[in-house]
Copies of this chain bind each other. A is one copy, B any other.
Amino acid sequence: MSRAEAFSDGIFAIAATLLVLDLGVPRPDPTLLDGFLHEWPAYAAYATSFLTIGIIWVNHHAVLERLERVDRGLLFLNVVFLLFVALIPFPTKVVAHYLQSGGDYAHVAAAAYGVAMILMGIAFSVLNYYASARGLIKAQRRLGFWTQVRYSIGLLMYVVGTGLSFVDARIALIIYAGMALYYVVEPLTASEPSAH
């Protein structure tokens, strides 16, 4: 199982770090500072996707450490899940591109981002379901009801965001970014740190 973790961590870390490749050298417009400011969608997309990958990594970790054993089916479902994690830099650059160039295309781009996240969320749910159904999880470590609700809310928010893309792309993106921020900031405010 440690090797499944190493492979997964590698994919998470690489997908997150590759995001930087889509930040191009800004052109003076007219000053270089303006050039930086005009590219804000790229920076917002970078931060949102990086934090999102970080959050998925923490959640994925929580699932893997709950496993008593791993079978070939779980290894392959994990590969399918990672296929969608590794994909994240793609919708990220599509959104950054069309948000910057403006126009109607931003609607479809924001929806594509949401769809990619929904597919990843579904793959994650299938992975969880399979682990339960096959009895691979330590008896005393079943996912609590509220944790499952938390995961489902995440998935639901991406569905809402994808739907709202066609009303206003910016609302969708604020939802995606807001979720990333919420999941990062919320544990910091917990009065009692959760043991790990």
Contact = CB atoms under 8 A, between A and B. Distances in A.
Interface of A: 1, 3, 5-7, 9-21, 23, 25-26, 28, 31-33, 36, 46-47, 50-51, 54-55, 57-58, 61, 69-73, 75-77, 79-80, 82-83, 86-87, 89-90, 93-94, 97-98, 105, 108-109, 112, 130, 134, 136, 183-185, 187-188, 190, 193-196
A89 B11 contact: no
B51 A80 contact: yes
B12 A14 contact: no
Given A15-B17, A21-B21, A58-B76, 7 more contacts: A1-B196, A50-B82, A50-B83, A54-B83, A58-B75, A71-B195, A72-B194
A17 B18 contact: yes
A73 B193 contact: yes
B23 A90 contact: yes
Contacts of A97: 25
Given A32-B98, A50-B83, A184-B76, A18 B16 contact: no
Closest 9 CB pairs of A and B: A10-B13, A54-B79, A71-B193, A72-B187, A32-B108, A14-B17, A73-B187, A73-B188, A23-B90
Contact of A7 (B12, B18, B47, B134): B12
Copy count, this protein chain: 4
Given A82-B54, A195-B69, A17 B25 contact: no
A54 B69 contact: no
A86 B19 contact: yes
Interface centre among A47, A79, A195 (most CB of B within 10 A): A79
Contacts of A13: 7, 10-11, 14
5 contacts: A16-B82, A21-B21, A51-B80, A58-B79, A72-B187
A130 B10 CA distance: 26
